[in-house]
Amino acid sequence: METQSENACFGGVQGVYTHRSSACACDMTFGLFLPEEARDGPVPVLWYLSGLTCTHENAMVKAGAQAWAAEQGIALVFPDTSPRGDDVADDEAYDLGKGAGFYVNAIQTPWAPHFRMWDYVTDELPSLLGDTFAVDLDRQAITGHSMGGHGALTMAMGLKGRFRSVSAFAPISNPTGSDWGRKQLRAYLGEDEAAWAPHDASLCMRAEGFDGPMLIDTGTNDQFLDLLKPEVLAEAVAARRQQATLRLQPGYDHSYFFVSTFMEDHVAFHAEALYA
């Protein structure tokens, strides 16, 4: 693993690191904020999964999460959104290929050799963090924005007992029923829609639910609201009688101005579960 940068940040350290990924068969870069408490021993972990076109850097720089994580004594992990490199398949469209991994393990050509973001985020990167840094993998929570909200919700429901809490900012809630989903799931996973279901938060909610607290914020002025389909997830939550707080925030759009506005709420929400 190679250290790209380490900066003092709210009493802790914001680092950026690159390593060779066996899951993605390329070099991967991630951001990690460790609060001051990590100097004395392992601290709880909050994963932040970013959205379409993002890298590890967008949320790390724009979300304002470090201040609130430092206050709560929580580590923040900012993975990349896809594999990278000259030999990694890509597409001319912004919503497929590099920057658009959708947190699945691709099985279709040309994506299969590298696009294994589910395994990378849920297996390889946690193992690396646990072996290298002062993080407590028995206390994990997960959040994300847009495509990353989709990933956070499906991982939380798909990996029973892994995460104590889950939240999302404007998640893609029903990708099997949206143009932000059907195109990508078909490309990565093939024509069998049964294989798509574990990667649809609304279908996961109806089938499995989540054994813990859930918080979701979406802006009423989100320019992608018809693609996100928050109403489908809300119906699934109601049908399952899931413990959840679903909020529509008046006037907010899809940007990091929205994310940063409600980041304090989300970090505090996760801290309550992580320290319970």
The predicted pLDDT at position 183 comes to 97
pTM, entire model:
0.97
The predicted pLDDT at position 265 comes to 98
The predicted pLDDT at position 272 comes to 98
Active site residues: 146, 222, 254
The predicted pLDDT at position 136 comes to 98
The predicted pLDDT at position 192 comes to 96
Q: What is the CATH number of domain 2-274?
A: 3.40.50.1820
Residue ranges per structural domain of the chain? 2-274
The predicted pLDDT at position 212 comes to 96
The predicted pLDDT at position 36 comes to 98
Low-confidence ranges of the chain (pLDDT < 70): none
Per-residue DSSP letters for the chain?
-EEEEEEEETTEEEEEEEEEETTTTEEEEEEEEE-GGGGTS-EEEEEEE--TT--SHHHHHHS-HHHHHHHHT-EEEE--SS--STTS---SSTTSBTTB-TT-B--STTTTTT-BHHHIIIIIHHHHHHHHSSEEEEEEEEEEBTHHHHHHHHHHHHSTTT-S-EEEES----GGGSTTTHHHHHHHH-S-GGGTGGG-HHHHHHHT--SS-EEEEEETT-TTHHHH-HHHHHHHHHHHT---EEEEETT--SSHHHHHHHHHHHHHHHHHHHT-
